[in-house]
Chain A
Amino acid sequence: MENFVDVFLFGKCYSVPENLTIMGAMEYAGYQLVRGCGCRNGFCGACATIYRIKGDRELKVCLACQTKVENNMYVATLPFFPLIKEGFELEKVSPDVSVMMQLYPEIYACVGCNACTKSCTQGLNVMQYIAYAQRGDFAKCAEESFDCVMCGVCSSRCPAGISHPQVALLARRLNGRYLAPESAHLNERVQEIRDGKFEDLLSALMQKPVEEMKELYNNREIEA
């Protein structure tokens, strides 16, 4: 026999099986989701959710697809939040602090309240990665923010109006493009392919009868 809990979806009470996720509970209650539901696996950030357990002073945040319901849970979803996304031409910007100052000056208005970190559905140290961005330390900002799914809850809680996920994304792209080391072996291989180095080998394979390909495949050497 399944156990049921009371969940308040946007304030309205529904009795749902206790083993469901919040997203599952909404569907059980009869919602046909269009917004607020994307990958259903914790990667896309579509189902940002804010909740409070009755009697508990603390406001909590989560991804609805990754969180089990609890009794007396008051749930509001945040299917969209107006983040600021500034455009830039990656090939024309340089990876120094001036780009942050120019595109996202509000990060310097951070009051250090740490509400972003406390509200991160991924458990990231958001205020710290913003501090790295302020200093133009994009490698560290990239590292610290890497697991961000851009759900936007941090920004919804920020008194300075910072769009943390977009700041972090800019830092990561700058880091990936300009600061992380180049891969010499990759560049060499791309050049070899442009020079047609593998054309003969490939076209020979493409023309081989299947029996011969089976022989080659079944006896190929596998790197340890």
Chain B
Amino acid sequence: MYTGEILQSMKKVEAARDANLALEPRRMTAEEKDALLAAYHPDYKESEFETLKMGVSRGDKVPHELAALLQGKPRITAADVDLSRIDYDTDVLIIGGGGAGSSAAIEADNNGARCMIVTKLRIGDANTMMAEGGIQAADKPNDSPAVHYLDAFGGGHFAAKPELLYKLVNEAPDAIQWLNRLGVEFDKAPDGTMITTHGGGTSRKRMHAARDYTGAEIMRTLRDEVLNRGIPVIDYTAAVELILDENGRCAGAVLMNMETRELRVARAKTVILATGGAGRLHYQGFPTSNHYGATADGLILGYRAGAKLLYADTLQYHPTGAAYPDQIYGALVTEKVRSLGAKLVNAKGEVFMHPLETRDVSAASIIRECGDRGNGVKTPDGVGVWLDTPMIERIGGEGTILARIPAMHRMFAKYGIDIRVEPILVYPTLHYQNGGLDITPDGMTAVENLYAAGEVVGGIHGRNRLMGNSLLDVIVFGRNAGRTASEKAKSTEAGTLTLSHIDAFLKEREEAGIGDETVSPKLLPVYTHGNPAVPKKPF
């Protein structure tokens, strides 16, 4: 399927494959990594960020696109809603139906609470569903939660909140056991030993997987369990504003039907934000591996209600998004491809880095290779480097790709590319929101009775996240929030509902001189694929 220059470059990759297979590339030193990141990682591009002029994290640096929404115009005013008419009344309101929200619902249900999930698309339309490569847990004899801690802390540039990271690593094996007992089918040897591999920046092989459908397998199982328990799931319904009570505690949310735009009121004793990430904001013009609804809604809702941010200026660009063909431009090519032995190779057929550096370092290295060094392969949509997938079959034997990464094979096969015999072209894609809402170890934000779990949270991973620690995070902190929020619900009552924070926000907005009309939360992106005749109205 490849043509012209691409084909010529691919021949060089093929010619060098034997030599490249034998090569053990050097890992970069700490100094080399620091210099590389500062020069090439998108997070370090000052012009792409601005300082928040208002709100509880005033003075924090965030990307322009996020600033516009955090300081944006609320979709509703207090006058639009009759708070005396309660449509839904529950103990724990969970906003978001991905891995974290579903885990939270199951644990809240276990704790005897009434809970419900609202989600703007369907339960399972979430980044969890798309996580391919795996989930970390230190459960092998040569490993320990302490080693996992060190890997994650260092990989996150020593910025993680120790008390959150402690929870992540120490509860990881229990999370795997919990999932396994819910019926999640992890890859195992015949004797039951988990088949585990490395991820970028891991010092032990602790990546558990279910082929390369790991997140899908986890998500569909959690969804099934939520449905089995009869937990109400209100789909195609977005939260557009949180509701507080007279004491400033969170006490529910205003919901909007995505199809009819009807507004509804949900009252709750505690609320969990599990709304996920922000890839669909396309920071710095990057494509994204994220699902359709990843528009940072939870950050917006939480921020307007008074929840603080942490590290909202750090994003993760997955090193290997598909760079060709353009129909799947930006789609995730799982890190597991490199875990299984595929190396990154430039246009000249040279291995230019160790394939399992941390994601930020790998992404910056690919950007450098394609930029200043001029060693990228030109594609119709941009540029990329080779990921030499046929190496996997050479290392693991014929059949390894179909057995271990069938989704990757299928994704490219639809466009006539057989990754068993041909390498693929990749370039970084916007993948993960490292930062988010600041929480305590029990999952609560700066607003009483408002909890957060999953990608909407910041601080668990520091300033970069390792592969397999996000699936882990949604399970550990989703369950955690489900338990703590349902426990808190036993001793708290929603007071008099109010939306007065909207007026206060509008006033502060005016005082800060913010006049732009960006409406938030964004809820969905708008795509026209370059059709000039289609009006570009926001959703």
A210 touches B (CB below 8 Å)? yes
The answer to whether residues A185 and B194 also contact, given A32-B539, A46-B125, A222-B203 and a CB cut-off of 8 A, is: yes
Of B171, B190, B291, B539, chain A has the most CB atoms within 10 Å of the CB of: B291
Binary CB contact string for chain B from 167 to 211 against chain A (1 if under 8 A, 0 otherwise)? 001110110110011111110101111100010000111000011
A176 contacts the other chain (Cβ, under 8 Å)? yes
Interface of A toward B, CB cutoff 8 Å: 17, 19-21, 24, 27-30, 32-35, 37-44, 46, 66-68, 85, 87-90, 122-123, 142, 146-147, 149-150, 169, 172-177, 180-187, 189-190, 193, 198, 201-202, 205-206, 210, 213-214, 216-218, 220-223
- Tell me the complex Cα distance, A202–B160, Å: 14
| Chain A residues whose C-beta falls within 8 Å of the C-beta of B227 in the assembled complex | 85, 87
What chain A residues lie within 8 Å of B81 (beta carbons)?
none
Q: Which of B121, B144, B192 contacts A38 (CB 8 A)?
A: B121
Residues of B within 8 A of A27 (CB): 527-529
> Is B149 a contact partner of A205 (Cβ separation < 8 A)?
yes
Q: A185-B194, A189-B138, A217-B158 are in contact. List 12 more A-B contacts (CB 8 A).
A: A24-B529, A38-B125, A38-B129, A39-B292, A40-B292, A42-B411, A66-B328, A146-B217, A147-B407, A186-B173, A218-B154, A221-B203
Residues of A within 8 A of B47 (CB): none
Residue B6 CB within 8 A of the other chain: no
**Considering the complex, which residues of chain B in the window 400-425 have a beta carbon less than 8 Å from any beta carbon of chain A?**
406-407, 410-411, 414-415
Q: How far is B531's CA from A17's CA once the two chains are assembled, in angstroms?
A: 9
A220 shortest CB reach to chain B, Å: 5
> Which 7 residue pairs of A and B lie closest in terms of their CB atoms, listed nearest first?
A173-B183, A217-B154, A181-B192, A176-B183, A38-B125, A201-B146, A176-B185
Q: Quick one: given A68-B327, A185-B140, A206-B163, are A34 and B236 in contact (CB under 8 Å)?
A: yes
Mask, B208-245, CB within 8 Å of A = 1, is 00110101110011001101101000001000000000
Residue contact B141 to A185, C-beta cutoff 8 Å? yes
Q: Scan residues 344-371 of chain B and give those whose CB is less than 8 A from a CB of chain A.
A: none
What are the residues of chain B within 8 A of A17 when measuring CB–CB?
Answer: 529-530
What's the least CB distance linking A176 to chain B, in Å?
4
Contacts of B122 in A (CB 8 A): 38, 46
Checking B170, B181, B291, B410 against A193 with a beta-carbon cut-off of 8 angstroms, the contacting residue is: B170
Give the nearest-CB partner of B161 in chain A: A206
In whole angstroms, how far apart are the Cα atoms of A68 and B325 in the complex? 11
Instruction: Determine whether B258 belongs to the interface, using a CB cutoff of 8 Å to chain A.
Output: yes
Contact flag A223-B528 (CB < 8 Å), given A41-B332, A42-B407, A142-B185: no
Interface centre among A43, A44, A90, A186 (most CB of B within 10 A): A43
Proximity bits, B129-157, A CB within 8 Å = 1, else 0 = 11000000111111011110111011000
A214 touches B30 (CB 8 A): yes
Report yes or no: B125 in contact with A44, Cβ–Cβ below 8 A.
Answer: yes
B210 — nearest CB in chain A belongs to which residue? A146
Quick one: given A17-B529, A201-B144, A205-B146, are A185 and B193 in contact (CB under 8 Å)?
yes
Find out whether the CB atom of B527 lies under 8 angstroms from the CB atom of A24. Answer: yes
Q: Contact at A223–B410, with CB atoms within 8 Å? A: no
**Cross-chain contact A147 with B204 (CB below 8 angstroms):** no
Asked if residues A190 and B190 are in contact (CB atoms below 8 Å), the reply is no
Does B526 count as interface, using CB distance less than 8 angstroms? yes
Q: Mark B18-55, 1 if CB is under 8 A from A, else 0.
A: 00000000000110000000000000000000000000
Please give the number of chain B residues whose Cβ is less than 8 angstroms from any Cβ of chain A in the complex: 91
A89 CB contacts on chain B under 8 angstroms:
228
11 example contacts (A-B, Cβ-Cβ < 8 A) are as follows A34-B121, A39-B130, A42-B331, A44-B124, A44-B125, A46-B125, A142-B185, A186-B137, A198-B146, A213-B150, A213-B158
> Which chain A residues border B531 with CB–CB below 8 Å?
28-30
What's the Cα separation between A176 and B214 when bound, in Å? 13
Taking the complex as formed, is B259 at the interface, i.e. its CB lies under 8 A from any CB of chain A?
yes
Is B213 within 8 A of A173, CB to CB?
Answer: no
Tell me the minimal C-beta distance from A218 to chain B in angstroms.
5
Q: Which residue of B lies closest to A203 (CB)?
A: B166
Asked if B534 is an interface residue, CB under 8 A from chain A, the answer is: yes
A40 proximity list for chain B (CB < 8 A):
291-292
Contacts of A90 in B (CB 8 A): 182-183, 225, 228
List the A side residues contacting B411 at CB < 8 Å. 41-42, 66
Beyond A43-B213, A213-B150, A217-B153, is A198–B144 a contact (Cβ under 8 Å)?
yes
B198 (CB) vs chain A CBs: closest residue: A223
B224 touching A28, Cβ below 8 Å: no
A35 contacts which chain B residues (CB < 8 A)? 236, 259
B433 within 8 A of A: no
Min distance, Cβ B124 to any Cβ of chain A, angstroms: 6
Chain A residue nearest to B33 in the complex (CB): A218
CB distance from A80 to the nearest CB of B (A): 9
List, in ascending order, chain B residues with CB within 8 A of A210's CB: 158
In Å, the complex CA distance between A19 and B151 comes to 42
Q: Does B65 contact A (CB under 8 A)?
A: no
| Contact in complex: B180, A66 (CB < 8 Å) | no
Bound: A204/B94 CA distance, A: 35
- With A38-B129, A44-B124, A183-B194 as known contacts, state yes or no: A21 contacts B327, CB within 8 Å: yes
Mark B82-109 against chain A: 1 for CB-CB distance below 8 A, else 0: 0000000000000000000000000000
Set A19, A33, A169, A183: member contacting B193, Cβ < 8 A: A183
